[in-house]
Amino acid sequence: MQLTAQGGNMVCDFYPVKYSDGTISTRHMLKIVTFAGGQVSKRYISPKEFKQEVEQRIVAHNYEVTDMHVIPQLFNSAMAPCC
């Protein structure tokens, strides 16, 4: 899913992730934030965090859904949260 702020400067992309064996993760989603065309952050979040963030950005900050990302990205354990 892609959320875009009014004016289009801030964009949040959320992707499902898959492991190297091809299974889709139920514990992680990839979040990429860009501002004015430059990547600001890239990290894994939980499905619970994903739902909360989408709701907050759409309801409280008037973001719009501008795309639906359904192709899973390959999981990189080096980026995974430690705890």
- Beta carbons of 3 and 64 less than 8 angstroms apart: yes
pLDDT tier, 82 (very low <50, low <70, confident <90, very high otherwise): low
Asked whether residue 4 carries a pLDDT value surpassing 80, the answer given is: yes
Asked whether residue 25 carries a pLDDT value surpassing 90, the answer given is: yes
Nearest partner of 53 among 14, 6, 8, 15, judged by Cα: 14
Asked whether residue 77 carries a pLDDT value surpassing 90, the answer given is: no
| Confidence (pLDDT) at 79 | 76
Q: What is the mean predicted confidence (pLDDT) over 7-29? A: 95
